[in-house]
Chain A
Amino acid sequence: MSTVTNTQKKAPAGERVADWADGRLGIYTLAKANMRKIFPDHWSFMLGEICLYSFLIIILTGVYLTMFFHPSMNEVEYAGSYVPLQGQLMSEAFNSTMHISFEVRGGLLIRQIHHWAALIFLAGMFVHMMRVFFTGAFRKPREINWLFGFLLFFLGMFTGFTGYSLPDDLLSGTGVRFMQGAILSVPIVGTYLSMFLFGGEFPGGDFVARFYSAHVLLLPGIMLGLVVAHLILVFVHKHTHFEGPGRTNKNVVGMPLLPVYMAKAGGFFFLVFGVIAVIAAIASINPIWALGPYRPDQVSTGAQPDWYMGFAEGLIRVMPGWEINLWGHTLVLGVMIPLAIFPLVLAAIAVYPFIESWITGDKREHHIAQRPRNAPTRTAFGVAWITAYMIMLVGGGNDLWATHFHLSINSITWFVRIFFFLGPVIAFIVTKRICLGLQRRDKDKVLHGRESGIIKRLPHGEFVEVHEPLSQGELYKLTAHEQYEPAALPPAVDENGVKRKIGAMEKLRVKLNKGYYGDDNQVAKPTLEEYKEIQSGHGHH
């Protein structure tokens, strides 16, 4: 508060600037509230940072690329420096991408940084999302933020796809044709949608310009907004932390934003940029000069989308080519069914937090990140989902599996068809058993201590292995997690002897709940009595 203190000597320049800014922006209040914000320290909490930084790198390099890229499909003759294409006809989009790659200073490196960063951004989001999933960090109050994150992944896929299509090369053109085929398979409106999107018959002369505005303006604009909202919510909710002494559901143990995290995050940004730049300098990505310009009458084998769309590619590749012809119309089930399964698989993971909270009936806030083993059913579901996803990725690359492992492409396709359904079931069962095994091991460690490897011979000849008791901190870590009681249906008759009406949904909920927390689905953690009883008979175990 600047009261009348002019008589004193003037404040330092920095303070005056800060005062000036505070008077207009209120930075002191903001800083006071946020500068000492605490963040917990764990490497897996930095996965989101990888995503954020690679997103920033994509924006920065993307701006550079827009300065040289011409989003036009006008036909030109190539006259650049790459000999094997000289004199070929191509769109201006392809021509300008060739120009960026061969003539613009640093153009190829920036293009490669942009594309590699995009692949890493999507891979980072996938892993980040799985981290949140397996630690239960999506539980109340973070469900909305989970959805924001999921939307970022989903939009990222389409931003990536539109960007991949812009150079109008033979590979991406095939991808666009694939997408157009999927649109055409939609009953009744498919042809209209396709005509609308492409401004007439495929490929027409419009789609590059249209994809361009979606790629540089619409989609990244929405994503940027979502990123900001995502970060604000992280601030509002505070970060989760793992179990440990002194860590509760009501506090956050870690380091302050300023100076520790500002320095670490700033440094980490440059490390991420550095790693991506090195990769882009070493390895080629999307060498459009080798692919050639798009022509609808040409196609190459090995035409796959970038990895995040490989799952959709797999669905189409392994789906039998069924179709129904009725009254002069064709229903292309071979494309329509994959098109319907694609969003369903993604939605399965997106809505999971809501399903779990409905099953548990838990309405409390959770700020402790769980260890995956302590939520066996959820962990098993997550692994099952990843299994289905990965099997479809195999389907998307079935030709390369065939050539590199000397297999028949037909066998791979059949493997994928069967294991898309069977694989998740096996993964679910195996994962759950591993989780329960790990829970038993934790219990064993708590009760009997750690195996020391020291064999002791007792006076009467018996050999025993000495177990070292765990420290208090470790004991806490292994026993602090909360275990739910399995839900049960209320008695069939209420206190007045009237038969209770129980809905089918409630019955289903209780059944699922037992699947989560029933006797065989979690290992009861050791009680204090058990612990004391075993510890009192010192050394015998």
Chain B
Amino acid sequence: MKKLSARRRHPLAAVVVLLLALAATGGLYAAFAPAGTAKADETAQSLAIEEGKKLYSVGCASCHGTGGQGTTDGPSLVGVGSASVDFQVGTGRMPAQQPGAQVPKKKVIYTQAEIDQLAAYVASLGAGPATPKEGQYSPEGADIAKGGELFRTNCAQCHNFTGEGGALTHGKYAPSLEGVSPKHLYEAMQTGPQNMPSFPDTTMPEKEKKDIIAYVNAVNGDETPSPGGLSLGGLGPVSEGLFAWIFGLGALIAVAIWVAAHTAKAKKS
């Protein structure tokens, strides 16, 4: 102890004490902190949030504000969740091209990795619906007929019988569901993008969402058969009437003109 007390006033003593104290706190922290794997995830997550924030500042902040708090040009993103971002950016709707009644679907400009980073950042702003896992939205084994019933009850009034889309007021519209991926269908129901109402799990459980996705897939998918021939857009009597007038009556009038032009010639007797 003598040695120790002798060097007590050494100029470097304070540094040594500080180092020891730091090592102790560090050691204690290491001992009591959460497990190592979680630590690694946390880093990846914070990295994603970090990257997402950069992407956000470039692509989104001009309308949604630098902290996602929203401006007069765009709503607040606090609490919209990663599912919203995955849907809006993943379908090309966001970033918006121009203000208007509704932001249309367009070419997707971010990679899925970038979308995930953006989603991570926005999700970090406040709790909201998370991007679904494949097991949640995959239509495998779902009840198509039940999905049809749910679709006609909840979706058809805007999206038409088989999801061909329809008009809403003042230039807004319910888009066609043709070619929309199961994940995006799920996210749309979960988050209610733009003019759409949302159908959270409390009102429409995951299983019912799956049934609806399976129905849309069955009646408006790539391999949907049309037993009657050309479906004429699946829009009902308006396109049928147009077809009847132009191709039906049009062809018949053409035939009538042809018949009249080939009339019997009077024989000279």
> Which residues of A line the B interface, CB within 8 A?
41-47, 49-50, 78, 83-88, 101-102, 108, 112, 116, 119-120, 123-124, 127, 170-171, 255, 260, 264, 267-268, 271-272, 275-276, 279-287, 289-292, 295, 297-307, 310, 396-400, 402-403, 406-410
Contact = CB atoms under 8 A, between A and B. Distances in A.
A45 B253 CA distance: 11
Nearest to B155: A300
Nearest to A303: B236
Interface stretch (B23-31, B128-136, B161-169, B187-195): B161-169
Given A83-B144, A403-B167, A306 B157 contact: no
B228 A112 contact: yes
A282 B153 CA distance: 31
Given A286-B237, A403-B167, A409-B171, 13 more contacts: A41-B260, A47-B256, A264-B264, A268-B259, A279-B244, A284-B228, A302-B160, A303-B236, A306-B237, A307-B240, A307-B244, A403-B173, A407-B171
Query: Interface of chain A, helix or strand or loop or mixed?
Result: helix
Contacts of B243: 279, 283
Interface string B18-43: 00000000000000000000000000
A38 B169 CA distance: 58
B156 interface: yes
Contact of A300 (B147, B160, B263): B160
A84 B229 contact: no
A84 B245 contact: no
A171 B244 CA distance: 19
18 contacts: A46-B256, A46-B260, A50-B249, A78-B145, A83-B218, A102-B227, A108-B228, A255-B266, A260-B264, A280-B229, A281-B229, A283-B229, A284-B232, A305-B237, A310-B241, A400-B235, A408-B101, A408-B171
Contact of A284 (B160, B215, B229, B247): B229
A285 B251 contact: no
B236 A304 contact: yes
B238 interface: yes
Query: Interface of chain B, helix or strand or loop or mixed?
Result: helix
Contacts of B171: 402, 406-409
Nearest to B218: A84
Contact of B257 (A43, A78, A400): A43
A83 B145 contact: yes
Contacts of A44: 256
Nearest to A413: B169
Contacts of A409: 167-171
Give the top 4 A-B pairs by smallest Cβ distance, nearest first.
Answer: A307-B241, A284-B228, A301-B166, A119-B244
Given A119-B241, A283-B230, A306-B240, A272 B255 contact: yes
B252 interface: yes
Nearest to B162: A290
Contacts of A170: 152, 156, 161
Contacts of A304: 236-238
Contacts of A88: 145, 148-149
B210 to A, nearest CB: 15
A84 B139 CA distance: 13
Interface in B213-247: 215, 218-219, 226-232, 234-245, 247
Contact of B236 (A45, A83, A119, A171): A171
Contacts of A49: 256
A163 to B, nearest CB: 13
Contacts of B67: none
B252 A272 contact: yes
Contacts of B251: 275, 279
Given A108-B227, A402-B173, A409-B168, A86 B256 contact: no
Contacts of A281: 229
B248 interface: yes
Contacts of A406: 171
B209 interface: no
Contacts of A108: 227-228
B206 to A, nearest CB: 20
Contact of A86 (B145, B165, B168): B145
B240 A301 contact: no
Given A101-B227, A402-B171, A124 B249 contact: yes
Interface string B258-269: 011101101000
A119 B248 CA distance: 9
Nearest to A297: B153
B145 to A, nearest CB: 5
A289 B148 CA distance: 11
Specify which of B157, B219, B236 lies most central, judged by the most chain A CB atoms within 10 Å of its CB. B236
Specify which of B146, B219, B241 lies most central, judged by the most chain A CB atoms within 10 Å of its CB. B241
A480 B170 CA distance: 55
Nearest to B248: A120
Contacts of B256: 43-44, 46-47, 49-50, 268
A273 B168 CA distance: 40
A216 to B, nearest CB: 21
A410 B169 contact: yes
Contacts of A272: 252, 255
B158 interface: yes
B252 A275 contact: yes
Given A120-B244, A286-B240, A43 B145 contact: no
B64 interface: no
B159 interface: yes
A276 B251 CA distance: 9
A306 B242 CA distance: 10
Specify which of A127, A264, A298, A302 lies most central, judged by the most chain B CB atoms within 10 Å of its CB. A302
B85 interface: no
Given A120-B248, A295-B152, A403-B166, A287 B235 contact: no
A408 B170 CA distance: 5
Nearest to A117: B248
A189 to B, nearest CB: 30
Contacts of A101: 227-228
A170 B78 CA distance: 41
Contacts of A408: 101, 169-171
